[in-house]
Amino acid sequence: MKMTAMSIPFPPSGSIPGTNPSLTSPVKLQAPMAPTAVETPESNVSLSFNVPFSSNLAGPDVEDILHASPGAVERWLHPEGTPDGPPTHKLPVHSGNVEALRKLCKEIAESNKERNLDATVTVSEPKQIATLRRPKGLVTNVCLSGRVDVVGQMRGRILREMPVAMKCATVDIDCNLVIDAATDAVRANVLEHLDLVAKYTGTDIFLLAPKQTDPETNASFNGGPDAGLDQRLRVAIYGDMESSEHAKTRVLIMIDQILKRTVDAMKLELSMHTLICGRSRKNIKLIESATNTAIYFPPPFPQVYGYTPPGATRRSEDEVFITGEKPENIVLAKQKLHELVMGTKCFVKDAMVSPNKIDSILLERLEKVKKIMETNGSYVQFPPLGSQRGVVRVQGTEVLHVERTVREIMALAGQFYSATWWILLPDPNASNSFRAPSSSDIRAMLSDVCMNSGADVSFDKLTFSINGSDDSVKTALFVIHQIPFVNKAQYQMRIKIELANEHKEFVSGKKNGKINKIMSQSNVQIIFDGFNEYNFYIDVCGSQYKATTVGLDLVEQEMPASISFHVPDQYHKRIIGIGGQHIQRIMKKYSVFVKFSNAMDRGGIGREDDDIKVDNVICRTPARNAASLDLVKQEIMDMVEQVDADHVQETVHINRLYHRELITRMNELEELEKKWNCKIIFPSTEMASDSITIAGPEYQVPQAVDEFLGMVPESHEIVLPSSAELKEYLQSQEFQGEVHGPLKARYEVDLHINKDDQADTDSSIERLLLTYTRNNAGGLRDAIDFLISRLVAHGLDATTIKGAIPRPKSDSFEESLPFFDSKLLQHAPPPLVTESPTKANLGPEENSGVSIFEKLRKPGSMSSISSFLDRRKHHTSSPGSFFRNGSSNGSKASLVSIESQNSAYRNPWNDSGVNLAEDDQHHWPTKAEGSKFPFSSNGGDITPRHDLRTSVDSGTAARPSTSSSSTGYPAPIGPPR
């Protein structure tokens, strides 16, 4: 494998707003061709695979729909008169996809009659068995029979021409941006634009009412969306992955246009997008901060799936949208992008991956690949889905980043297994005769195996070939073992596991001691077979199902389980000790290998790595000893001072439109990061997410969160009836001294009376505006109670106030003492939350049972929205819903690690392995004990098998990072040895 460096020349950029200067790299990545399957084209094969329709994707609730694009209601809602509780897969859109698949398969079969190609579609629900992992919901299966080359081509065509991986993308939009105050309805031009976007992109778009949240379940530190955010309308976009992302970007641009921002576009080579964005999109955030613009990049995999809805227009893969307040800002942003491209140097490397595993990664791990690309600032180009090519090309700005990306992609490939099951023909001289299954039997058999396991299964010359995730392959073997004609014949089995080359000695043990013992105990043969410069294969071969599965289980138990976490470099010497005596004692005590990596190992001081707290300590042990990993981590972290201990992440929810204001204060944010040794991570612009992540030491993050939320202003309005006495009191100096001053001093809340244009409204009411910052939102309820208690003494009727926040429902103890008013018996405290009730309920209670269809003319249009939204705001079972997320500034930093306790993976590292004492730590099963082959219910993301960890941590353990893991780093931190 040769890595080449290329400097990218850059043409002059246009400076006139509205033009689209081209930033095209002369090196356009093209996926190179790879050798295809070794079978000869003349041989026939039967192949069964599942088409991953998102049949569990449900449409919106009919009561929430305010507007729908033409035809969307008919596709995503059950027809009128349908009995209650129909399954989701019976929605017209899902039924239509199955019918379209049947039509395509029929067309394929008829057009390939001379090739004897047969295509069969089967739709069913798999049988659920408690001990086995089975796909949930409706499964759509296709079985192709014919020549090997034709079958492979038709499989790729089916996957590329069907809307696989459908999703629902959501964009929240403030009501004041789209609702016309005069007519109290959504503006007609907004609805027309949504319909135009839906038609242009081939998606179905719904405008939905604000979602209702349970205040009890959302009562956690930044755990649920802010009450003010819940008052926004939702734009739900249904479609395939590429089309929904295209429509989502168009909707975001529409919102920017409503905000009077200028929109422009430019051309930029797709493979350069993630490179110029930098690691964690740092470069783009700096440009957006300096120019006050928003930059929208296209999805990184435009040609992978290949499906385009009928009549739709695909987004150009190299088109980048830029919005800004002024045309000058856009010109400046283009200039800075020009400078980034001019300074970019590219390194390219090709890596060999099994074609079947490439398809599995594209269908099941694509989000994980996007995360890898963003973390390393690299670009990964896959061949099209089902193309049977086995080469992946990686491009990056540094050799180290390219190597890390390749290793992480290889770790993803290791999460998928392949297996072969040969049925041996009996002796022709024997009296018993062997009857091979007919073509119809083979199709039924393969469909049953595939639908009940989720793996791709082929049958050729009495040989089964299985490909898929680890659990799906093992489940398929179990189902094949139940087939009668397979049981009655002699057979041979082989299961192939892919693992990093660095782990070869770790798994085999000294002088192959571990592998030899497994082979002798389970009567299997284990072969190490080289694959490429990164990974090798472990082949587990046997002639008995139970013995082979036991041997496979034992091999998995010897595979490396690891956990990685961050320890500041200044503590490494203290933990290692003189001559390594401290760390050697820990390693011997727990039979765990520990490796430290400092800044020099990661590429030198001053690099970007030092700005991001990467995992620089890794602990590794065989999977059967995985329980010791947490104990080792705890003992190491006990030597670290609390101020630097446990690197955690905290998520806060802030309206995404205000992110732009925060990003423009980048200097203040950098000072905050240095002060608390934390990192503030904003989501990408095209994600339209409200979540901002603050990462750092566990004991520093709460202070950083508090100070960060202090930069976010919010307000709350109270409306109360006016009277002469009350008006006089509000304008008196006594009010300033008794109320205004204490509100600011005690609760950090400023009070404004009839502010701005509010003074021109009805003189019979008084409008009080309370302003505060998000970190002080927890005291808002007490501030309102204090204010009302002072105003009641001057003629205010407390029952006529709009905007007050009622106390939550009391507990049973308080209800049992209704007549006591004692300071010793305090009221139940409010739920522990920090988000603010920016816009609490201001309208009267309304419990009428009027349906949505009585208030709206039809789902596709609306006449009045305020009464509908008002009814939804008041329709709650708890008075605490008026204040969903206000609280003290408590932290759940110590609880963050709970979310990551299942994000386990194997971490490639270069060491000689760990040999455990076998007398008390592991029991080797014998053939007489039968199979101890476990089938996990957690999917294909947890291998090797071991008990779930009882303690929690911010690291990861037990196998390469998967689509469900969000932390950790699966590749070596330093350059490969």
- Residue tagged 């069913």 (tokens): 124
| Helix/strand number for the chain, H first, E second | 33, 32
Indicate the pLDDT class of residue 740, thresholds 50, 70 and 90.
Answer: confident
> Which residue spans within 566-690 are E strands per DSSP?
593-596, 617-622, 647-653, 679-681
* Structure-block tokens of residue 247: 């429509």
Reply yes or no on whether the pLDDT at 127 is more than 90.
no
* Structure-block tokens of residue 751: 């009070």
d(CA 60, CA 77): 8
pLDDT tens per residue across span 825-862: 444 444 444 444 333 333 444 444 444 334 443 444 44
Which neighbouring-strand residues pair with 769? 717, 752
Half-sphere exposure of 240 (CA within 13 A, CB side): 27
* Structure-block tokens of residue 689: 């997410």
Write the CB contacts of 974 (distance below 8 Å, at least 6 apart in sequence).
Answer: 597, 601, 602, 603
53-62, 102-111, 516-525, 608-617: segment of lowest average pLDDT:
608-617
d(CA 337, CA 270): 14
In this prediction, residue 68 carries a pLDDT of: 96
Quote the distance between the C-alpha of residue 625 and its chain's center. 30
Reply yes or no on whether the pLDDT at 343 is more than 60.
yes
Residue of 69 and 917 predicted with greater confidence: 69
In this prediction, residue 809 carries a pLDDT of: 53
Laid out side by side, the sheet with 765-773 consists of: 713-721, 765-773, 750-753
Indicate the pLDDT class of residue 904, thresholds 50, 70 and 90.
Answer: very low
Degrees to nearest 5, angle at CA 565 with 562 and 567: 135
In this prediction, residue 730 carries a pLDDT of: 87
In this prediction, residue 753 carries a pLDDT of: 86
* Structure-block tokens of residue 223: 């755990």
What is the rounded average pLDDT for all residues in the chain? 77
d(CA 943, CA 824): 55
Reply yes or no on whether the pLDDT at 317 is more than 60.
yes
Mean pLDDT of 600-627: 71
Percent of the chain with pLDDT over 90: 47
Mean pLDDT of 653-665: 91
Indicate the pLDDT class of residue 971, thresholds 50, 70 and 90.
Answer: very low
d(CA 411, CA 967): 15
What is the sign of the dihedral through the CA atoms of 173, 176, 180 and 185?
positive
Q: What is the pTM of this model?
A: 0.78
* Contact in structure between 265 and 330 (CB atoms under 8 Å): no
SS3 at position 640: coil
Residue of 927 and 317 predicted with greater confidence: 317
Degrees to nearest 5, angle at CA 376 with 373 and 378: 55
Indicate the pLDDT class of residue 867, thresholds 50, 70 and 90.
Answer: low
* Contact in structure between 458 and 443 (CB atoms under 8 Å): no
d(CA 681, CA 413): 29
> How distant, in Å, are the alpha carbons of 713, 715, 742 from that of 749?
11, 9, 9
Determine how β-strand 22-23 pairs with β-strand 262-268.
Answer: parallel
Reply yes or no on whether the pLDDT at 214 is more than 70.
no
DSSP-assigned letter for residue 830: P
Degrees to nearest 5, angle at CA 203 with 200 and 206: 115
In this prediction, residue 696 carries a pLDDT of: 87
Mean pLDDT of 885-907: 35
Indicate the pLDDT class of residue 641, thresholds 50, 70 and 90.
Answer: confident
Half-sphere exposure of 89 (CA within 13 A, CB side): 15
Indicate the pLDDT class of residue 262, thresholds 50, 70 and 90.
Answer: very high
Indicate the pLDDT class of residue 79, thresholds 50, 70 and 90.
Answer: confident
Mean pLDDT of 732-761: 79
> Is residue 157 packed enough to be buried (19+ CB in 10 Å), middle (13-18) or exposed (0-12)?
middle
* Structure-block tokens of residue 265: 């576009």
d(CA 231, CA 870): 10
Indicate the pLDDT class of residue 599, thresholds 50, 70 and 90.
Answer: low
In this prediction, residue 38 carries a pLDDT of: 38
Q: What is the DSSP string of 337-353?
A: HHHHHHT-EEEEEEEE-
Alpha-helical regions (H) of 731-766: 733-735, 741-747
> To the nearest 10°, the Cα dihedral for 963, 967, 973, 977?
-40
In this prediction, residue 496 carries a pLDDT of: 95
d(CA 8, CA 28): 11
